[in-house]
Amino acid sequence: MTAKTLLLALPLALAPCGAARAAAADLAEAGVAAEKITPPPGTLMAGYYFDRAASGVHDDLFAKAIVIQSGGVRAALVACDLIGVPRECVEAARRAIEAATGIPGAHVMISATHAHTGPVVRSPAGARRASGGGKESATAFAEALPGLIAAGAAAACANLAPARISAARGFEDSLSFNRRFHMKDGTVGWNPGRLNPNILRPAGPIDPDVPVVHFASAQGAPLAMYVNFAMHLDTVGGLEISADYPYTLGKLLGGLKPGMLTVFTQGAAGDINHIDVAWGTQTHGHVEAARIGTVLAGAVTRTFPHLAAVSAGPLQCRSRLVALPLPEIAAEAPERARAIIARRGLAENPPAFLELVEAYKVIDVAERGGKPLEAEVQVITLGDTLAWVGLPGEIFVELGLAIKRSSPFAQTMVVELANGSIGYVPTRHAWPQGNYEVASARCGPGSGEMLCEAASCLLREAHAAAVRAAPR
Ligand SMILES: [Zn+2]
């Protein structure tokens, strides 16, 4: 694909007086707000397999909310600068939002950007489990989070006013890389290292799509830019709290459109990160995060001339709970896993990384006692043009691409780590290849395809209903 920007093909209104129809009555309403969720210094930080406490704040973390209203229906899109939002927090936040605003919980999509330089978020139930994280700061944050998310959504709801919504799809293929590689020895490597001579080729694709949705007031003042892109947020590292590259993205876009809030959501990026194995001197840290945010801001900026008005149409919210199979574990595996975890951090004979990853998975899976993992697939659509698909967990990119391909909507945004965090969701064909994401996955082979199937089904239903509702 060579096109720098893919124009959004807007379906034309077929009404005889189409132009007149697209008047003020056609405007949806939107409200935008951001609630600061930065935890205090000393908070246990997420992202890696070792404990580290935050030393300070490079940039603040937020729960950013966009509330949309059309035809009397309201929905909220909330994006949190966090590694993930546990299901219990999502449910508590939805209850609080419903109580404060009347927006039904099922109409609320709460997602995490997957920032690796934010707090550990461990629900009280999660803290009781064996896989670490029972630290006080992690549960304290999880207890405060639903209220903060609800405050953001309620503030956005209070700001509801007629809005001009427009959309476009940007393109950026220089930032993201599939981090799984076919190696010369026949294995599939995971982050095999820069300039590794044993790399044959990437084991999967990337998704260069940068779908954006712009919200402006009826007078045209910019309110928010919704940006979705599939690439792990793990470019900063270190001990300072940071939202990672979306921080620079928001700062630059806010400079171009003063007063505008940038709401970044993570695409299907389970196997996608920023590491260019062919670039021997690629740096990391805040400078690299700023470079990435700058390039992505460029991709978004290039969509400005192509932002096409989205006519209001029906706002629809659909969800389906999918019972995902568990990965198989041997009967003696939990005992072995506990022994491995007990050796964690030892100076002598500490467990290997993949051993530890697998051990945590085994304990979590064994504790379910065979109970399938419940996953919510959520689809929010506006008219017959825009679709947001929320999937819990870190979704392999091919699954996201498959959903977009099957979607009848002009612009479909796949949002991972939405409404829960079930861990990695590999494709079926990645299972026999093994390595990190597969070793870590709490759901079994075929789970990703089940989520795709459910999403495609909901998208088809929503599109058929939108077409039926369109004026003829
Ligand atoms: Zn991850």
**Residue 126 clears pLDDT 80, i.e. is over it:** no
CA 391 to chain CA mean position, Å: 8
Rounded to the nearest angstrom, the distance between the alpha carbon of 170 and the centre of ligand 1 is 24
How far, in Å, are 316, 372, 385, 413 from residue 462 at the CA level? 7, 27, 11, 15
Q: Tens of pLDDT along 156-174?
A: 999 999 999 999 999 999 9
**CA torsion 333→339→343→349, rounded to 10°?**
-80
Identify the burial level of 471 via C-beta atoms within 10 angstroms of its C-beta, where 0-12 means exposed, 13-18 middle and 19 or more buried.
Answer: exposed
Cα 439 versus chain centre, distance:
21
Distance 298 CA to ligand 1 centre (A): 25
User: Cα 323 to the chain's mean position, in Å?
Assistant: 21
pLDDT band at 91 (very low <50, low <70, confident <90, very high): very high
**19: pLDDT strictly greater than 50:** no
Residue 10 CA to ligand 1 center (angstroms) comes to: 34
* Residue 311 Cα distances to 13, 171, 422, 471, angstroms: 9, 23, 35, 12
Is the pLDDT score of 105 beyond 90?
A: yes
What's the CA-to-centroid distance between 432 and ligand 1, angstroms?
20
- pLDDT in the model for residue 4: 40
Q: Is pLDDT at 131 greater than 50 in this prediction?
A: no
Q: What is the pLDDT, as a whole number, of residue 23?
A: 40
CA of 442 to the centre of ligand 1 (A): 13
Cβ-contact 443, 373 below 8 angstroms: yes
How many Å lie between the centroid of ligand 1 and the Cα of residue 34?
24
Ligand 1 centroid – CA 33 distance (Å): 27
* Cα 426 to ligand 1 centre (Å): 12
CA 114 to ligand 1 centroid distance, Å: 7
Nearest Cα to 265, choosing from 322, 226, 299?
226
The whole-number pLDDT of residue 10 equals 35
- CA 186 – ligand 1 centroid, Å: 25
Paired tokens of 402: 């498959």
pLDDT digits (tens, 9 = 90+) for 292-319: 999 999 999 999 999 999 988 999 999 9
> Are 110 and 84 spatial neighbours (Cβ–Cβ below 8 Å)?
no
pLDDT at 5: 38
Choose among 377, 239, 241, 245: nearest CA to 319.
377
Distance in Å, CA 271 to ligand 1 centroid: 8
Measured in Å, residue 231 CA sits from the centre of ligand 1 at 10
> Does position 125 have pLDDT exceeding 70, yes or no?
no
270 CA distance to ligand 1 middle (Å): 6
Give the model confidence (pLDDT) of 333-379 as tens digits. Answer: 999 999 999 998 888 889 999 999 999 999 999 999 999 999 999 99
User: What is the distance in A from the centroid of ligand 1 to the CA of 153?
Assistant: 26
Q: What percent of the chain has pLDDT over 90?
A: 83
User: What are the domain boundaries of the chain?
Assistant: 26-312, 333-367
Check if the beta carbon of residue 82 is closer than 8 Å to that of residue 39.
no
| C-alpha distance from residue 140 to each of 55, 83, 124, 226 (Å) | 18, 16, 9, 29
How far is ligand 1, taken at its centre, from the CA of residue 338, in Å?
23
* CA 45 to ligand 1 center in whole angstroms: 14
Task: Give the separation between CA 386 and CA 462, rounded to whole angstroms.
Answer: 11
Q: Compute the distance from residue 253 Cα to the ligand 1 centre, in Å.
A: 26
CA of 232 to the centre of ligand 1 (A): 6
* Residue 18: count of CB within 10 angstroms of its CB: 12
Q: What is the edge-to-edge ordering of all strands in the sheet holding 188-190? A: 188-190, 180-183, 199-202
What pLDDT was estimated at residue 345? 80
Distance 248 CA to ligand 1 centre (A): 20
